[in-house]
Amino acid sequence: MTDINQLVATALHTAEADARMQQADAQFLAVFLALKGEARAARWRGLEYGAKYRLVARQLTAITGEWMPSDVEGWIARYDEKWAAGPIDAAVEGALERLAIEHSDAARLADRLGDLAHRKVERAAATAFTNALVQYRNGVRPELLASGAQLLPSRRAGEAPHLVTMDGDFVCNCAAGGNMHWPLALIIGIEQAFDDMERFDDGDVDPTPAELGQRLSAARSVYLEAA
- Tell me what pLDDT residue 64 has: 85
CA dihedral (170, 172, 176, 180) positive or negative: negative
Q: From the CB of residue 204, how many other CB atoms can be counted at a distance below 10 Å?
A: 4
In residues, how long is the chain?
A: 227
Whether residue 11 is found in the same domain as residue 110: no
**Which tens digits make up the pLDDT trace of 62-114?**
888 888 999 999 999 998 888 877 788 888 988 999 999 999 999 999 999 99
Domain that holds residue 166: 87-226
Model confidence at 22, pLDDT cuts 50, 70, 90, reads: low
What distance in Å separates the CA atoms of residue 50 and residue 31, rounded to the nearest whole number?
A: 17
Report whether pLDDT(223) > 80. Answer: no
Neighbour count for residue 120 (Cβ, 10 Å): 13
CB-CB contact of 182 with 128 (8 Å)? yes
Of 89, 170, 177, the closest CA to residue 133 belongs to 89
Backbone angles phi, psi at 165, to 5 degrees: -125, 165
CA dist., res. 177 & res. 186, Å (int): 15
pLDDT of residue 217: 47
Q: Same structural domain for residues 71 and 167?
A: no
CA 155, 161, 166, 171 torsion-angle sign? negative
Residues 194 and 214 occupy one common structural domain: yes
Structural domains of the chain, count: 2
Percent of the residues in the chain that have a pLDDT greater than 70, as a whole number: 77
Average pLDDT along the chain = 80
Q: What was the pLDDT predicted at 200?
A: 65
Do 34 and 141 fall into the same domain?
no
pLDDT (tens digit, 9 = 90+) per residue, 110-141? 999 999 999 999 999 999 999 999 999 888 88
Residues 193 and 101 in one domain: yes
What tens digit of pLDDT does each residue of 167-221 get? 788 999 999 999 999 999 999 999 999 888 877 655 544 444 444 444 444 444 4
Does pTM top 0.95 for this prediction?
no
How many alpha carbons lie under 13 Å from residue 111 in its C-beta half-sphere? 9
Instruction: Please say whether the beta carbons of 180 and 100 come within 8 A.
Output: no
Q: How far is it, in rounded angstroms, from Cα 23 to Cα 170?
A: 40
